[in-house]
Amino acid sequence: MKDIKILSIETSCDETSAAVVVNGREVLSNIIASQIDIHTKFGGVVPEVASRKHIEVISAVVQEAIEKANVTFDEIDAVGVTYGPGLVGALLVGMQYAKSLAYAIGKPLIGVNHIEGHICANFIEHKDLKPPFVCLVVSGGHTFIVHMKDFGEFEVIGQTRDDAAGEAYDKVARAIGLGYPGGPKIDKLSKEGNPEAIKFPRANFHDDTLDFSFSGLKSAVLNYLNKMEMTGQEINKADVAASFQKALVDVLVDNVIKTCRLKKVDKIAIAGGVASNSTLRQALISEGEKNAIKVLFPSPILCTDNAAMIGSAAYFEYINGRTAELNLNAVPNLKLGQR
């Protein structure tokens, strides 16, 4: 059977990435040009700045991906690209480049859902992984629990109703003076703090749902900081970080374990930037062992936004005959499973 080589492009937020992936699991190259240093001084991603930077570097990133993979454009079977969800201007840069390239080299175009890409990162890391399994997608912009029934077949079991987990991390980090990006900085600082020091709330809905809500937790942290400042009390930043993180992680772990019981699944795959968080990893592994559930993680480079995961997702679309027309447009609020 012929190997399928996908050239993939990812520009949904502030990373410009291109990769060459074989059969959805073997990565020949995965080039990532990060903009983190540029956006740090703004305290978060500025969409217009991100779009302009993508334009500056995308040609060089794609060329480097091809050279590092030691392939030619003729050897590529299809061009995969993220078309949503994400920042519309950033998405358009990657899409216009991918469409032009697919047309120029006469190869099919494949539109990929960014969240599906995060899930498929696990197929690269774990070569023998097959559905069904439950996936927890946690990143700066997304928090989902997904039941993956088959390749390309997803059921959303729970999702955030307001802030994504990573967004809550960034806002709390900013409030306690840690800066951007918040997730790694809170994770590091929380190791010096007591996670039981402050009792922050966990959102529980009255209806029968496994959805999340983190805006109340974020507000509780801000209110605590304001109260301490107004009464002249010293704030222990490490305790605030540890207590906030425990409240957030507890809810993520509880809901994903409940999903496994509900769907009678014994595998959890984690995806997204927050999947690198050490407290989340430890808590999931611990609860997984108690419940005879295997917990799988991608390596840190595959947790961030990258084109290799898009190439994996594009492969499964390709073998199912789902290619896109050249009039494909960006869908900034694209839903999981929507095509």
pLDDT, tens digit, for every residue of 218-228?
Answer: 999 999 999 99
Strand partners, 22: 5, 26
Q: What is the DSSP letter of 275?
A: G
Considering the domain architecture, whether residues 268 and 168 belong to the same structural domain is answered as yes
Peptide bond into 201 cis (omega under 30): no
More confident residue, 214 or 181: 214
Looking at the fold, whether 295 and 306 belong to one and the same domain comes out as no
Domain match, 220 and 290 both: yes
Could you tell me which of 156, 84, 80 has the C-alpha nearest to residue 313? 80
Q: Are residues 86 and 173 in the same domain?
A: no
N-term to C-term CA, the chain: 28
* Confidence (pLDDT) at 262: 93
Looking at residue 42, what is its pLDDT?
Answer: 67
Q: Is residue 258 part of a domain?
A: yes
In a domain, 330, yes or no: no
CA dihedral 270, 275, 278, 284 (to 10 degrees): -20
The reply to whether 110 and 165 lie within a common domain is no
pLDDT given at position 204: 75
pLDDT tens per residue across span 7-30: 999 999 888 999 999 999 999 999
CA separation for the pair 84, 10 (Å, rounded): 10
Angstrom CA distances, 39 to 4, 45, 101, 133, stand at: 36, 5, 29, 35
Do the beta carbons of residue 39 and residue 14 sit within 8 Å?
Answer: yes
CATH number at residue 308: 3.30.420.40
Measured between alpha carbons, how far is 79 from 112 in angstroms, rounded to an integer? 10
DSSP 25: T
275 against 32, higher pLDDT? 32
Q: Tell me the pLDDT tens digit for each residue of 307-329.
A: 999 999 999 999 999 999 999 99
Nearest residue to 78 via CA among 146, 152, 19, 145: 19
Evaluate whether residue 70 is within a structural domain: yes
Instruction: Give domain status of residue 327, yes or no.
Output: no
Return the pLDDT at 337: 75
Q: Say how many domains are in the chain.
A: 2
Does 240 map to a domain? yes
The beta strand positions in 151-266, using DSSP E, are 153-159
Query: Is residue 252 within 8 Å of 282, Cβ to Cβ?
Result: no
Instruction: Show the domain range for 10.
Output: 5-120+302-319
pTM value?
Answer: 0.88
Clarify whether residues 176 and 235 are in a common domain: yes
81 and 207 part of one domain: no
DSSP 277-307: -HHHHHHHHHHHHHTT-EEE---HHHHSS-H
Are 218 and 312 contained in the same domain? no
Between the alpha carbon of residue 107 and those of residues 69, 293, 309, 313, 322, the distances in Å are 18, 41, 20, 17, 14
Write down the pLDDT at residue 41.
65
pLDDT exceeds cutoff 70 at 206: no
Domain annotation covers residue 336: no
Cβ 19 vs Cβ 65: under 8 Å: yes
pLDDT band at 34 (very low <50, low <70, confident <90, very high): confident
* CA distance to 113, 136, 152, 199, per residue, from 320 (Å): 15, 24, 9, 49
Question: Are 102 and 148 found together in one domain?
Answer: no
What is the distance between the alpha carbons of residues 228 and 232, in angstroms, rounded to a whole number?
6
- Asked if 165 and 154 sit in the same domain, the reply is yes
- With respect to residue 271, please indicate whether it lies within any of the assigned structural domains: yes
Can you read off the two tokens belonging to residue 120?
């498929």
Co-location of 148 and 82 in the same domain: no
Q: Is the Cα dihedral 111, 116, 121, 123 positive or negative?
A: negative
Confidence label for 146 from pLDDT (cuts 50, 70 and 90): very high
Q: Note the pLDDT of residue 307.
A: 97
Q: Could you tell me if residue 125 is inside a domain?
A: no
Return the structure tokens found at 261. 């019981």
